[in-house]
Amino acid sequence: MNKSKLGLIITMLIWGSIGIFVRNINFSSSQIALVRAVVGSIFLIIFSLFSKEHLSKEDIKNNLFVLTCAGVCLGFNWIFLFQAYNYTTISTATICYYIAPIIVMFLSPILLKEKLTPIKILCIIAAMIGMFCIIGMDKSNIGDSNVLGVLYGLGAACLYAGVVIFNKFLKDISGRNSSVVQLSVAAVFLMPYVLFTDKINFVGVGYLSMGLLLILGIVHTGVAYLIYFTVIRNLSAQTVAIYSYIDPISAIIMSSILLGEKMSLLQVIGGILIIGSTFVSEIYEGKAKTKEEVVTTEE
């Protein structure tokens, strides 16, 4: 196994453990999201200052509006995801979050002018069935916290779909530059939100929470983003898509082992349908892009 694939696996395992860390941090979801954005952006800015690849003001200026929109979606996406962890299991929240690619696929004909093929339609239907399985067909469950957690997870998925769509409109800017700006924008927009809602209060917060919060900002955000954008340059889009599924699978395994969380058979089936449909859609899209590149080269 080469270093790029190993780096991608490490990144996915780091992201897969986010839920475990968030569960043990004694802050509100918005405060965690804010600190993560601030610490992550500062880490990447400092690294850029000491690396060969400096921030390009011209590239950032040309993409500023799109980067701002993506950054706002990113910040509030974290709030919704962390809230989902509070109301349901990490497994359920992660699976709901991974419906984001299906949302992008559904909106792509309208926003990105991409064709909705029969395979994509089947993937969307499979994901929808999977969501019904995750929520449960028992009407008596509608008011419980699990459903609220699912709704927060779906909200996070919608916001992350926004991040993905906005990033498709970026032109001539490196992954690191776009990440620095989006994290910084997230921090700027989350600051007033936190000040007017939760306030910033460190009273009663233990050293464990502070330490885990710093790890979340430095390791799960700064280091993970840095590794991710370094290694994906050397890997095909299809390889990145396949290895990305280490993230939700590892999150489910970790929550089961470390937190003792369990899923019902119906939820397991729902998870397989959702993760499987996104996997098939991304593999299909990767092959389609490869064919297009071959045709373009031949022409």
pLDDT at 49: 83
Contact (CB, 8 A) for 104 and 285: no
pLDDT at 297: 31
Q: How many CB atoms lie within 10 A of CB 280?
A: 15
Contact (CB, 8 A) for 108 and 288: no
Asked if residue 116 has pLDDT above 60, the reply is: yes
Asked if residue 84 has pLDDT above 90, the reply is: yes
Q: pLDDT grade, residue 298 (50/70/90)?
A: very low
Asked if residue 169 has pLDDT above 70, the reply is: yes
Asked if residue 179 has pLDDT above 50, the reply is: yes
Contact (CB, 8 A) for 163 and 185: no
User: Which of 82-86, 94-98, 173-177, 260-264 has the highest average model confidence (pLDDT)?
Assistant: 82-86
pLDDT at 278: 81
Q: Measured between alpha carbons, how far is 259 from 253 in angstroms, rounded to an integer?
A: 10
Asked if residue 223 has pLDDT above 50, the reply is: yes
Q: pLDDT grade, residue 74 (50/70/90)?
A: very high
Q: How many residues does the chain have?
A: 299
Asked if residue 18 has pLDDT above 90, the reply is: yes
Asked if residue 166 has pLDDT above 60, the reply is: yes
Q: What is the mean pLDDT of the chain?
A: 83
Q: Please identify which residue in the block is written with the tokens 């992350």.
A: 160
Q: Is 242 or 73 the better-scoring residue by pLDDT?
A: 73
Distance from the Cα of residue 236 to its chain's centroid:
20
Q: Measured between alpha carbons, how far is 43 from 232 in angstroms, rounded to an integer?
A: 20
Q: pLDDT grade, residue 204 (50/70/90)?
A: low
DSSP codes, 234-272: GS-HHHHHHHTTHHHHHHHHHHHHHH-----HHHHHHHH
> Among 19-28, 33-42, 105-114, 219-228, where is mean pLDDT lowest?
105-114
The answer, as to whether pTM is greater than 0.85, is no
Euclidean distance between the first and the last CA atom of the chain, given in angstroms as a whole number? 34
pLDDT at 203: 62
pLDDT at 10: 94
Q: Measured between alpha carbons, how far is 212 from 276 in angstroms, rounded to an integer?
A: 32
Q: How many domains does the chain have?
A: 1
Q: Residue 283 phi/psi, 5° resolution? A: -65, -45
Domain that holds residue 12: 3-298
Mean pLDDT on 264-273: 85
Mean pLDDT on 155-182: 89
Q: Is 284 or 29 the better-scoring residue by pLDDT?
A: 29
pLDDT at 185: 94
pLDDT at 239: 77
Residue 143 neighbours by CB under 8 Å, 6+ apart: none
> Among 29-38, 73-82, 130-139, 221-230, where is mean pLDDT lowest?
130-139
Contact (CB, 8 A) for 180 and 45: yes
Closest C-alpha to 78, from 168, 179, 163 = 163
